[in-house]
Amino acid sequence: MKRISSSSDSPPLVARVLLLCATAMALPAQTLTTLHSFAGSPADGEWPFAGLVQATNGDLYGTAYDGGLNSGTLFKVTPGGTLTTVYSFCTQSNCSDGALPAAGLVQATSGDIYGTTTAGGANCVPGGCGTVFKTTPAGALTTLHSFDGTDGSGPLGTLCQATNGNFYGTTLQGGANGPGTVFEITPNGTFGTLHSFCTQPGCADGASPYGGLVQGTDGSLYGTTSAGGTNCSGACGTVFKISPAGKLATIYSFCTQSRCADGQSPYAGLVQGTDGNFYGTTQSGGVNVGTFGGAGAGTVFKITPTGALTTLYSFCSQAGCTDGQTPYAGLVQGTDGDFYGTTYYGGTNPLSYSSPAFGAGTLFKVTPASTLTTLYNFCSQVGCTDGENPMGELVQDTNGEFYGTTEYGGVVCSPNSVDVGCGTVFSLSVGLGAFVETQTTSGEVGASVKILGTNLKGATRVAFNGTPASFKLVSGSEITATVPPGATTGKVRVVTPGGTLSSSVPFRIT
Q: Tell me the domain boundaries of the chain.
A: 1-12+20-37+271-433, 437-509
Residue 385 backbone dihedrals phi, psi, to 5 degrees: -70, -15
pLDDT value, residue 29: 54
Q: Cβ of 373: how many Cβ atoms within 10 Å? A: 20
pLDDT value, residue 232: 79
pLDDT value, residue 24: 41
Q: Which CATH architecture has domain 437-509?
A: Sandwich (2.60)
Task: Measure the CA–CA gap between 286 and 267, rounded to whole angstroms.
Answer: 15
pLDDT value, residue 374: 97
Amino acid at 148: D
pLDDT value, residue 419: 64
Residue 129 gets the label, from left (phi > 0), alpha (psi -120 to 50) or beta, of: alpha
Q: Cβ of 479: how many Cβ atoms within 10 Å? A: 25
Task: Measure the CA–CA gap between 113 and 157, rounded to whole angstroms.
Answer: 15
User: One digit per residue, pLDDT tens: the chain, 510 residues?
Assistant: 443 444 333 333 333 333 333 334 444 458 999 999 999 888 899 999 999 999 999 999 999 999 999 999 999 999 999 999 999 999 999 999 999 999 999 999 999 999 999 999 999 988 999 999 999 999 999 999 999 999 999 999 999 999 999 999 999 999 999 999 999 999 999 999 999 999 998 899 999 999 999 999 999 999 999 999 998 767 899 999 999 999 999 999 999 999 999 999 999 999 999 999 999 999 999 999 887 767 789 999 999 999 999 999 999 999 999 999 999 999 999 999 999 999 999 999 999 887 777 899 999 999 999 999 999 999 999 989 999 999 999 999 999 999 999 999 998 786 544 568 999 999 999 999 999 999 989 999 999 999 999 999 999 999 999 999 999 999 999 999 999 999 999 999 999 999 999 998 999 998
| Cis preceding linkage at 126, omega within 30 | yes
Q: Is the Cβ–Cβ distance between 288 and 297 less than 8 Å?
A: yes
Task: Measure the CA–CA gap between 291 and 405, rounded to whole angstroms.
Answer: 24
Nearest to 447 by CA among 438, 459, 436, 435: 438
pLDDT value, residue 164: 94
Task: Measure the CA–CA gap between 125 and 109, rounded to whole angstroms.
Answer: 33
Which residues lie closer than 8 Å to 382 by C-beta, 6 or more apart?
Answer: none
Q: Is the Cβ–Cβ distance between 32 and 386 less than 8 Å?
A: yes
